[in-house]
A and B are shown apart, each in its own frame.
Chain A
Amino acid sequence: MQITCPHCGPRAQAEFVYERTVDSVVPLDATPEEAMKTLFTRNNPRGVDEEIWRHTFGCRAWMVITRHRVTNEITAIRAVGPEAIP
Chain B
Amino acid sequence: MINFTFDGKAYQAQAGDTLAAALLRNGIGLVGRSFKYHRPRGIMTAGVEEPNALVTVGEGGRTEPNTRATDVFVYEGLVARSQNRWPSLSLDFGAILGLAAPIFSAGFYYKTFFGSAKRWMFYEYFIRKAAGLGDAPSEADPDHYSQRAAFCDVLVVGAGPAGLQAALEAAEAGKRVILVEQDSILGPSLIRDPQKLDAAWIEAIAARIRAAGGRILTRTTASGYWEHDLVTLTQRISEPGQVPADSVAQRLWHVRAGQVILATGSIERPMAFAHNDRPGVMLSQAVRTYVQRFGVTPGKRVVIATNNDDAYKTAHALQDAGAEIVAIIDARPAPAGADNGFPVHNDAVPLSTKGARHCLKSVSAQVGGVTKSWDADLLAVSGGFTPVVHLHMQAGGTLDWNEAAQAFVPAKSRQNVTTIGGAANPDPVFTVTPASNPKKSFIDFQNDVTLADVDLAWAEGYRSVEHLKRYTTLGMATDQGKLSNMAALGRLAEKQGVAIPEAGLTTFRPPYTPVTMGLFAGSGAKDGGAHIRRLALYDVHAAKNPIWQPLGYWFRPRAYPANGETMQQSSRREARTVRTSVGMTDVSTLAKFEISGPDAAAFLETVCATTVNKLAVGRGRYTFMLREDGFVFDDGTVWRLDENRYLLTSSTGGADRMATLLSYVRQYLCPQLRVSAVNVQEHYAGIAVAGPQAKAALTALIGEEPPRHMSTVPATIAGVPVIVLAASYSGERAFEIYVEASHATPVWAACETEVSAHGGCLFGMDAMDFLRIEKGHLVVGTEVDGRLTPQDLGLDKMLNKAGGFIGASGLSRTAFSEPGRRQLVGLEAIEGTIAEGAMLITREGETPQGHVTAAGIRVMEGGSIALGQLEGGFERHGEELIATSPTRGQKARIRVVQPHFYDSAGERYRD
**A residues lining the B interface (CB < 8 Å):** 1-2, 12-13, 17, 19, 25-26, 28-32, 34-36, 39, 52, 54, 56, 60-62, 71-73, 80-83
Contacts and interface: CB of A to CB of B under 8 A. Distances in A.
Contacts of A32: 809-813
B414 A71 contact: yes
Contacts of A12: 149, 230, 254, 256
B790 to A, nearest CB: 15
Nearest to B805: A28
Interface in B256-303: 256
24 contacts: A2-B228, A2-B256, A12-B256, A13-B227, A19-B664, A25-B668, A26-B806, A28-B606, A28-B808, A29-B804, A32-B810, A32-B812, A32-B813, A35-B628, A35-B629, A36-B629, A39-B810, A54-B660, A60-B663, A72-B227, A80-B668, A81-B667, A82-B666, A83-B671
Nearest to B672: A82
Given A2-B256, A13-B227, A32-B809, 8 more contacts: A2-B228, A12-B149, A12-B230, A35-B629, A36-B629, A39-B629, A61-B667, A81-B671
Contacts of A83: 671
A36 B228 contact: no
Interface string B525-562: 00000000000000000000000000000000000000
A10 to B, nearest CB: 8
A19 B810 contact: no
Interface in B796-815: 804-806, 808-813
Given A62-B663, A62-B664, A80-B668, A26 B809 contact: yes
A32 B449 CA distance: 61
Give the interface centre of A31, A32, A83 by most chain B CB atoms within 10 Å. Answer: A32
The 6 closest A-B pairs by CB, nearest first: A81-B667, A35-B809, A2-B228, A26-B628, A1-B227, A82-B671
Contacts of A2: 227-230, 256
A60 B660 CA distance: 9
B669 interface: yes
Interface in B224-260: 227-230, 254, 256
A31 B670 CA distance: 18
A64 B717 CA distance: 47
B813 to A, nearest CB: 6
A73 B671 CA distance: 29
Interface in B591-617: 606
B138 to A, nearest CB: 33
B396 interface: yes
A34 B671 contact: no
Nearest to A70: B396
B660 A17 contact: yes
Contact of B669 (A28, A39, A60, A71): A28
B278 to A, nearest CB: 46
Contacts of A62: 663-664, 667-668
Contacts of A54: 660, 663-664
Contacts of A81: 666-668, 671
Decide if the interface of chain A is mainly helix, strand, loop or mixed.
loop
Contacts of A60: 663
A54 to B, nearest CB: 7
A56 B669 contact: no
A5 B196 CA distance: 50
Contact of A56 (B229, B660, B668, B811): B660
Contacts of B663: 54, 60, 62
Nearest to A22: B668
B668 A72 contact: no
Contacts of A31: 809
Contacts of A82: 666-667, 671-672
Give the interface centre of B229, B256, B663, B809 by most chain A CB atoms within 10 Å. Answer: B809
A5 to B, nearest CB: 14
A58 to B, nearest CB: 13
Nearest to A38: B628
A35 B671 CA distance: 21
Nearest to A11: B256
A28 B668 contact: no
Contact of A73 (B256, B414, B811): B414
A80 B414 contact: no
Contacts of A26: 628, 806, 809
Contacts of A73: 414
A42 B809 CA distance: 17
Interface in B805-861: 805-806, 808-813
A15 B256 CA distance: 14
A1 B414 CA distance: 13
B787 to A, nearest CB: 15
Nearest to A34: B809
B660 A72 contact: no
Contacts of B396: 71
Contacts of A25: 668-669
Nearest to A82: B671
Given A36-B810, A73-B414, A80 B228 contact: no
Interface in B647-702: 660, 663-664, 666-672
A81 to B, nearest CB: 4
Contacts of B806: 26, 28
A39 B713 CA distance: 42
A19 to B, nearest CB: 7
Nearest to A10: B256
B629 A28 contact: no
Given A35-B809, A80-B667, A80-B668, A19 B660 contact: yes
Interface string B774-809: 000000000000000000000000000000111011
Given A19-B664, A39-B628, A62-B663, A80 B671 contact: yes
A21 B484 CA distance: 44
